[in-house]
Amino acid sequence: MRHDDGMDPEDLGSNPSTEPTIGELIGRRLGRREALRGLLGAGAVATIGGALVGEGALAQPVGPSSLTFEEVPHGLDKTHHVPPGYEAQVLIRWGDPVMADAPAFEPGKLTAAGQEKQFGYNCDFIGLHALPAGSTASDRFLMVVNHEYTDPGLMFAGLGAGRAVNLKVTKEQAEVEMAAHGGAVIEIVRENGKWSVVPNSKYARRLSANTAFDISGPAAGHDKLKTSADPSGRKVLGMLNNCAGGETPWGTWLTAEENFNGYFGGDAEKMPDAKAYKRYGISKATWYGWSKYFDRFNVEKEANEPNRFGWIVEIDPYDPTATPIKRTALGRFKHEGCHHALAKDGRVVIYMGDDERFDYVYKFVTAKPWNRQDRAANRDLLDEGTLYVARFADDGKIEWLPLVQGQGPLTAENGFASQADVMIYTRIAADLLKATPMDRPEDVEANPVNGRVYVLLTNNTRRTEQQVNRANPMARNAHGHVIEITPKDGDHAALDGTWSIFLVGGKPGIDPGARYHRATSENGWLSCVDNCTFDSKGRIWLATDGAPSAAGIADGLYGADTAGYGRGLTRCFFQAPTGAEVCGPILTPDDGTLFLAVQHPAEDAGSTFEKPSTRWPDFMDGMPPRPSVIVITKKGGGTIGS
């Protein structure tokens, strides 16, 4: 998520921790030789020696990558680009029908009632759930999509450009915004090589900021979750700022509430929970005008409402009547992603990042194993288990610290009288455990082929000169990096393991500290990794958010091997239109189709509804830019990437 005035909502830096940051740890642990090992693997280092591009010029490709597509040149213009031999089609756009009775999309005539039935704004995470359930086919799915946030300056006429326009909306426009948040379930099918949305599907569903949700787990019913509208503390309207997500082995959708803090107004500093509000970034500086019209978004009128957001939400895409559930056992913070892996004993492990500068990496381990034979038996599996936060040591080890009330400093004397307190104020509990402050951890995913876990750290522009180091020598880490974790004995439930650097972003020769494979081309360097996915060969696909548009580079999607001679050799596969971020990459099981979410096209400085920087994807006069899900396939069929 980014804004056209350059003010990044993740750049709040609310963590007071004085623990060594990940940048300092990288510097202590890694010299040039260790950086090589992290990027290429010990065997590759021994074979090809200095196979790392750093301060010097980029080398020409020498062919070690298993990805054989012709790279897309770096650039920045009004449309998207795919490699020669590939084609992209728009699957669904903001305003397209989801429900059978959805009205046609008419710019300038938007209504909240209509938007509740149409595809929402700023699509982010994409998930695929096979149809029928449990099928291994690759031609029919339920697709689930997050709708993260809204940009009223591009949605409505007459508001102008910049962050301030968010506060100018009318009550009716705010209601449209609320309806455009949340998520969507659609049915999709591939017929004669083309993908389409199945109209009038019995599975179709829209969720918004007005949908009724249940609250479960340790914090359900806690006094800090009770409001005048919900004195039980077990019901809440809506989900907010849902960024990335994941899925469970039993086929439910996990969606992550991220920057919920920006939706609340009122004077947070004079409230009893002012310290906690500050740690979560809640202040007078609301990003939206909702608190003017709806009391639940004003902390002076509903002090506990913010505590009802910032959770992982579980949704059953196969049952459109099922009430979504906020699972409080997984903690409350600015969740980015919630991808699962399986422990050796069958317990489910959920990896998560807290997307803010100097915040933490987490994992949740269920108390009981997944029941493969009885889907219903897994219904409340995520309500019981242990949440852990990561501490990265300078000797390359990682330790997972349990966030359990009564253990260590998490006592009543320190404000944690129950496990509910730990979950509601997870960030503060993790501070006390002295977890390692990270550089904006976004996606955290386990590679199903090699079993390693990849942590995508988007950037940290608040890194100081005193934190500059040999392996991550960026005073302002504007380009981010990727860490690779190896769980002990290959068990995701293990409480320790090792870590190394997979790559460091930026342009070699220009951005200090950038580290890539020596064969990386002029188009293969990247900036601000955000989301990722893996194909059936274990290759990683990295989506970016925050590429240096000032240098004429759009955000995009890059593929790389995670093993062999092409390990860490990133290659550019897709470039987004100007102003847009690439999100939610996911491949069908046969690797024959790639789905991408392209959100906030035209979110450039000065871009408005009347004069957007692009009218992607329709390119029609009077039609605003429309966040969309696109489909990429190989002409004539075949595997994506090679």
451-476 pLDDT per residue, tens: 999 999 999 888 776 664 443 346 68
Residue 29 is predicted with a pLDDT of 57
Q: How confident is the model at residue 62 (pLDDT cuts 50, 70, 90)?
A: very low
Query: Mean pLDDT across the stretch 555-564?
Result: 98
Which of 435, 462, 397, 458 minimizes the C-alpha distance to 2? 458
Query: Mean pLDDT across the stretch 216-245?
Result: 98
Q: Is 429 helix (H, G, I), strand (E, B) or coil?
A: helix
The answer to whether residues 418 and 218 touch, using CB atoms and an 8 Å cutoff, is: yes
Residue 63 is predicted with a pLDDT of 81
Residue 22 is predicted with a pLDDT of 60
Amino acid in the structure at residue 437: P
Q: Is 60 helix (H, G, I), strand (E, B) or coil?
A: coil
Q: How confident is the model at residue 39 (pLDDT cuts 50, 70, 90)?
A: very low
Residue 527 is predicted with a pLDDT of 97
Neighbours of 510 (CB within 10 A): 11
Say which residue, 512 or 526, is predicted with more confidence: 526
The answer to whether residues 150 and 269 touch, using CB atoms and an 8 Å cutoff, is: no
Handedness of CA 370, 375, 376, 382 (dihedral sign): positive
Residue 467 is predicted with a pLDDT of 61
Q: Is the pLDDT of residue 591 over 80?
A: yes
Q: How confident is the model at residue 446 (pLDDT cuts 50, 70, 90)?
A: very high
The Cα–Cα gap between 164 and 328 comes to 33
Q: Pull the structure tokens for residue 395.
A: 């000797």
What letter does residue 6 receive in the DSSP assignment?
A: S
Query: Mean pLDDT across the stretch 573-586?
Result: 98
Q: Pull the structure tokens for residue 413.
A: 């004397």
Residue 26 is predicted with a pLDDT of 60
Q: Which of 115-129, 412-426, 430-444, 455-469 has the lowest mean pLDDT?
A: 455-469
The answer to whether residues 375 and 251 touch, using CB atoms and an 8 Å cutoff, is: yes
Which of 445, 443, 449 minimizes the C-alpha distance to 530? 443
Residue 78 is predicted with a pLDDT of 98
* Residue 343 CB partners (closer than 8 Å, separation 6+): 349, 365, 369, 491, 492, 493
Residue whose tokens read 């019981």: 384
Complete DSSP assignment for 197-220? EPTT-TT-EEE-TTSEEEEESTTT
Residue 511 is predicted with a pLDDT of 87
Residue 7 is predicted with a pLDDT of 41
Which of 579, 631, 629 minimizes the C-alpha distance to 161? 579
The answer to whether residues 521 and 496 touch, using CB atoms and an 8 Å cutoff, is: no
Which of 434, 483, 439 minimizes the C-alpha distance to 463? 439
Chain centroid, CA 553 distance in Å: 21
Q: Provide the terminal-to-terminal Cα distance of the chain, rounded to the nearest Å.
A: 31
Amino acid in the structure at residue 606: G
Query: Mean pLDDT across the stretch 377-388?
Result: 98
Domains of the chain: 22-258+310-402+436-634 (2.120.10.30)
Query: Mean pLDDT across the stretch 429-455?
Result: 96
Which of 578, 577, 480 minimizes the C-alpha distance to 530? 480
Question: Mind listing the pLDDT tens digit for each residue in 281-338?
Answer: 999 889 999 999 999 999 999 999 999 999 999 999 999 999 999 999 999 999 999 9
Residue-averaged pLDDT of the chain: 91
Question: Mind listing the pLDDT tens digit for each residue in 190-224?
Answer: 999 999 999 999 999 999 999 999 999 999 999 99
Which of 633, 623, 510 minimizes the C-alpha distance to 74? 510
Q: How confident is the model at residue 44 (pLDDT cuts 50, 70, 90)?
A: very low
The Cα–Cα gap between 479 and 457 comes to 9
